[in-house]
Structure 1
Amino acid sequence: MNVLLVEDDPVLTDGLSRVLNSHGFTVHTVNNGNDALSQRFNAAVLVLDIGLPGIDGFEVLRRMRAAGNNTPVLLLTARDTIPDRVHGLELGADDYLVKPFATPELVARIKALIRRSAPQPAQLTVGGLSLDNATKRADIDGRKIELSLREWTVLEYLMQHASRVVSKQQIIDAVLPWGEDFTINAVEVYVSRIRLKIADSGVAIRTIRGFGYMLEKSEA
């Protein structure tokens, strides 16, 4: 997978490039906004520093989206304020990391953006349970069930990985952008709520001790 890294700190650029290369990414780097906008590098994810010389990261993002470029964008910034996060989100950013950050978190967020940007099936079905992505409708054998946004995203991720074990951290990384305050305990709460709502669907969410959860068809 290709990653375009736009960062003006040469030491940070070198370090991040080495880390991403070690995880199998092909990394192309530029150190200013003008060069970022002129790139024809086919990137799966753009890692974009806000504090660039000349054209800053916000303006790069604004121009990209105005031009119809929908490449997933992960913003890097030293500014951890709500107005900055909101501004970036309104401009079309997909995720946000505040410096300093742990490189494993950067890698996890890039992988999550790639997963989220992949084409999704119009409908997911396991047992009697189905999720329709076009209408955002959840059904059990044709009967609609009500899910909150977070319940939907957690259940969708579990259904996408049906019959496989997923960790609580994988759920957090995959479904929640922008570093929202969503803890391991919160995952447990939402899984508990979902279990109650899908109890008669022929589908169960098993707890795999020490590993996470597995969604699968219930035994008859």
Structure 2
Amino acid sequence: MERILVVEDDPQLAHLVTAALQHEGYTILLAISGLDAVEMAPQADLMVLDLGLPGLGGPEVIRELREADWNLPILVLSAQGTEEIRVRALELGADDYLTKPMSVREMVARVRALLRRSRPTQEIRIGDLRILLKQRQAFRAQQPLDLSPTELDLLLTLAQNPGEVWSRERLLQRVWGAERGSTVDERVVDSYVALLRRKLGDDPKTPRYIETVFGQGYRFVQHT
């Protein structure tokens, strides 16, 4: 099930939003500040964001994520319901906007709609590589690949974003759920990439799938 990052510093409202989304089966991550929101964003599939945060405000959170080319769907919740505020949030890169107090049912419906629109296609095909997303299975030359859950998560993260460079730190956050600045050794990413390449039959010197970007990280080769 998808992971939703709720960014809300009001404990009562945070509990209300979290309980409603958990009831629908979503996994919830909670942040109470803008800085926490930016750091935790790589772990989430969607963000529910309060605009009136202390310190780094909601608009700044949206700006930082969009300037970093992070396409995380963002649903804004705000007590500020003027047209000017709504338009500004949407122009910065928010995907939807609800004014507090809001209907919990409507919030859940909008979360569902945003997730539905952001879901990738059910199948990825690159050459002789085929990945079935719903079934969490991968095949090469019609033969099933024996991938561990972590190897598959790593493959999906890269394959769903072809051409996008992923740093080791960002992969640790997304695939392993490590927090920013974690002491988890980044070399674990290199080890898993090596395992995945071996199972894909991929040569790092002439990669068909996973390319090393020197000094930056890894990316999935963008096929035309």
TM, length-normalised to structure 2: 0.53
Secondary structure (helix, strand or coil) at the match of 1:61 reads: helix
Residue 220 of structure 2 corresponds to: 215
Name the CA shift for 1:142/1:75 in 2 (closer, same or farther; >3 Å). Answer: same
CA RMSD of aligned residues (A): 3.5
Choose from 98, 110, 131 the match for 2:41. 110
> Offset at 1:210?
0.4
Letter in 2 for 1:108: E
Counterpart of 1:65? Answer: 22
| Alpha-carbon separation, structure 2, partners of 1:182 and 1:130 | 31
- Structure 2: which amino acid aligns with 1:188? D
| Residue of structure 2 in register with 1:164 after alignment | 164
Match of 1:183 among 167, 180, 185: 185
How many equivalent pairs are there? 145
Q: How far apart, in 2, do the equivalents of 1:185 and 1:143 lie?
A: 29
- 1:36-58 deviations in whole A, cap 9, x for unaligned? 1xxxxxxxxxxx4xxxxxxxx4x
Shift of 1:60: 6.3
Residue 203, structure 1, aligned to residue 208, structure 2: yes
Asked whether 1:74 is paired with 2:44, we answer no
Residues 132 and 69 (structure 1 numbering): CA distance in 2 closer, same or farther, change over 3 Å?
closer
Give the equivalent residue in structure 1 for 2:122. Answer: 122
Structure 1: runs of 5+ lacking an equivalent: 8-30, 37-47, 49-56, 78-100
SS in structure 1 of the partner of residue 166 of structure 2:
coil
Give the counterpart letter for 2:40 in structure 1. R
What one-letter code is carried by the residue in structure 2 that aligns with 1:175? V
Q: 1:211 to 1:149 in 2, by over 3 A?
A: same
Aligned to 1:210, the other structure's residue is in SS state coil
Deviations 1:177-201 (A, max 9, x none): 3649753111111001001000169
Counterpart of 2:131 in structure 1 is 131
Secondary structure of 1:203's partner?
coil
1:210/1:102 Cα in 2 relative to 1: closer, same or farther (>3 Å)? farther
Flag the 1:129–1:4 CA change in 2: closer, same or farther, 3 A: closer
Residue aligning to 2:142: 142
For the 8 Å contact 1:127–1:217, the answer to whether it is kept is no
**Structure 2 vs 1, CA of residues 178 and 73 (structure 1 numbering), >3 Å: closer, same or farther?**
farther
- Counterparts in 2 of 1:151 and 1:107: CA distance versus 1, 3 Å: same
Cα 1:164–1:4 change in 2 (3 A) is closer
Q: How far apart, CA to CA, are the structure 1 residues paired with 2:220 and 2:122?
A: 19
Structure 1 pair 176–200 and aligned structure 2 pair: CA distance change class (3 A): closer
